[in-house]
Structure 1
């Protein structure tokens, strides 16, 4: 049975993602719901991280906290969850250790360990990850159409890296060693992760997500050849298969898709010409004007009708440690650079070049959000 949702009052980010003209640049921030907010820390006092993810009412509340605090300044909410719920759904134990981050007490050590996560048949998304779907539906209802709701998954390579390393790493030497020692096992696991990502994203859209993002947080840990072998094909497959499955439901069910391949500067043209992602998110080391030129050059080189690609980003999160005046000026420069190619900054969604940090001042984020609105409105009315 199809769930009926309140009418959407602000569709700015959806229009921007589709390459349509907008009256100003929409803005949201990765990790906008989380540890930098005092209201989040109050909730966190009494709950384990993943128990918050698994409790739809709590996940809904945390998702809406930044929308409530920065009312009128954010153009999207992103569901409070984690990319590592998929390894959990595959049977692995994942803990969130305060001050350290994700920890796998029993990571994959040899290909024989893949038997612990490779299951016959398809993972039952409703059974294993239904709490995320319930949180999406509840949050979509609770937002009452104020802003669109985003869903997400981690990219297969990034999840594989966590599952082998047992957490974050400075070198990712264990995961990279697997690529050379056990390439067939890696492809087997990457395909399994891709299958789950596709099913999970389709389910998220059916549950209420109006746009989705694929986070390849550790993309830049691979060189171009390894990325094209072990990461890019699976990213491409996710977009192709999700859009195909949603189109079978209804043409209206196809939502915009964003990819964030952090650090993989070399793959930008291929993301444009060989995948079906509507939005490409840039990290803070990528110049917006140069990136737009590369995108336009790539699309013009393709035979037939060039497709419109929206860019997302890309203020350095560390900028928020500066004064409100500095944040405002850096945001102005960012908006100008994204606007350089057409003078107005169409096909741009403002964001950070990565997520919020735990010790960021929320009022400094407010300064950023307000500056995006101020300067993008000025450019588009000029």
Structure 2
């Protein structure tokens, strides 16, 4: 990626070079879970603020994003945010409840509930706080580390929107794929369009590498993954790749994803 105007020159571009498949002197390292609950300084900030307040306040997001780099010689920082800001931007309420994690008080119960969702093209207007956090963090990094942006993958986001919370089986969401296949594709298209706008906005705001987390791929067999996950991942990759680096997440992914990676010219960490 060429040096963007308005941001400090890169002093450490190890992750960027690795993402492009170039030779590096050592494997790039960063902390995957944003600031991480292991840091006492993170827990101190968290004790004072609601989780989504931290996500929605650029100065707080920047502060906790940088915390690991203040302790360790890392090669990248991943912006402090959450994959569920997309459902929020689409008009759904999401709460972070102690001991439960994210909860949707009113999940999607049937295809008729799709009318509750805001137009995907408008979602980014409600996510300016993420873009502001990225820009602020990119400047504060002073080129010492690569800034990573991210989003959830469409199937993973859909699963949360229907299930209403974390689940070991995602049975309600999987049930949609069989009972409401057409509506499932409509929902996935809405999420995909919103995600594309969101990721492009992240690049414009200063993100240098993007990750798309398909955290619930483990709940899909190969055929369901081909039908309801992979096409939307491909669409996101195709439409965003020119705007920045693209990385595919390996967690719980099956061989279908690995095969696709080799065909798309996308870096797989």
Listed as ranges, the matches of 1:223-242 within 5 Å are 223-242=221-240
TM-score (normalizing by structure 1): 0.68
Equivalence for 1:217: 215
- What does residue range 163-182 of structure 1 map to in structure 2 within 5 Å? 163-182=161-180
Aligned to 1:93: 93
CA distance in 1, matches of 2:123, 2:157: 19
- For 1:40, the equivalent position in structure 2 comes to 42
Question: Residues of 1 paired with 2:5 and 2:134: CA distance?
Answer: 12
| Residues in 1 aligned to 2:250 and 2:224: alpha-carbon distance in whole angstroms | 14
The superposition leaves residues 277-327 of structure 1 with CA deviations (integer Å, 9 ceiling, x where unpaired) of 22x2xxxxxxxxxxxxxxxxxxxxxxxxxxxxxxx2xxxxxxxxxxxxxxx
The CA distance in 1 between the partners of 2:259 and 2:53, in whole Å, is 38
Deviation at 1:96, TM superposition (A): 0.8
How big is the alpha-carbon RMSD for the aligned residues of Structure 1 and Structure 2?
Answer: 1.4
Equivalent residue for 1:156?
154
Q: Deviations over 1:330-380 (max 9, x none)?
A: xxxxxxxxxxxxxxxxxxxxxxxxxxxxxxxxxxxxxxxxxxxxxxxxxxx
Aligned partner (choices 198, 201, 204) of residue 202 of structure 2: 204
The count of residues paired between Structure 1 and Structure 2 equals 266
CA contact (8 A) 2:101 2:166 kept: yes
Alignment gaps of 5+ in structure 2:
none
Please state whether the residue corresponding to 1:185 is helix, strand or coil: helix
SS in 2 for 1:260: coil
Aligned to 1:109: 109
Q: 1:264 aligns with which of 236, 246, 253?
A: 253
The answer as to whether partners of 2:230 and 2:257 remain within 8 angstroms in 1 is: no
Distance 1:166 1:277 in 2: 32
Which 4+ stretches in 1 moved above 6 angstroms? none
- Write the distance in 1 (CA, Å) between the matches of 2:130 and 2:34: 18
Tell me whether 1:4 sits opposite 2:14 in the alignment. no
Distance 1:276 1:183, change over 3 A: farther
Normalised to the residue count of structure 2, the TM-score between the two structures is 0.95
Q: What is the CA–CA distance in structure 2 between the aligned matches of 1:172 and 1:214, rounded to whole Å?
A: 19
Shift of the alpha carbon at 1:260?
A: 1.1
Aligned to 2:263: 274
- The question of whether the paired residues in 1 share the 8 Å contact of 2:90 and 2:123 is answered with no
The separation in 2 between residues aligned to 1:144 and 1:212, in whole angstroms, is: 19
Deviation at 1:18, TM superposition (A): 0.5
Displacement of 1:266 after TM fit? 2.1
CA distance in 1, matches of 2:263, 2:202: 24
Per-residue CA deviations over 1:214-238 (Å, capped at 9, x if unaligned) read 0000011100000000000000100
Aligned mates of 1:234, 1:217 — CA distance in 2: 15
The SS at the match of 2:127 is: helix
**What are the superposed Cα offsets for residues 110-141 of structure 1, whole Å, 9 maximum, x if unpaired?**
1101111152x72241x210000000000011
Distance 1:18 1:276 in 2: 10
Q: For residue 17 of structure 2, what is the aligned residue in structure 1?
A: 15
Q: Residues of 1 paired with 2:173 and 2:250: CA distance?
A: 17
CA distance in 1, matches of 2:101, 2:62: 22
Matches within 5 A, 1:21-60: 21-60=23-62
Bigger mean CA deviation after superposition, 137-146 or 262-271: 262-271
The residue that corresponds to 1:128 in the other structure is 126
Q: Are 1:198 and 1:238, in contact at CA under 8 Å, matched by a contact in 2?
A: yes
Q: CA deviation at 1:276?
A: 4.2
SS at structure 1 position matched to 2:48:
coil
Contact 2:106 2:164 in 1 (8 A): yes
In the TM superposition, what is the alpha-carbon distance from 1:152 to its structure 2 partner?
A: 0.3
Please say if residues 236 and 276 of structure 1, whose CA atoms lie closer than 8 Å, have aligned partners that are also in contact: no
Q: Does 1:61 align with 2:63?
A: yes
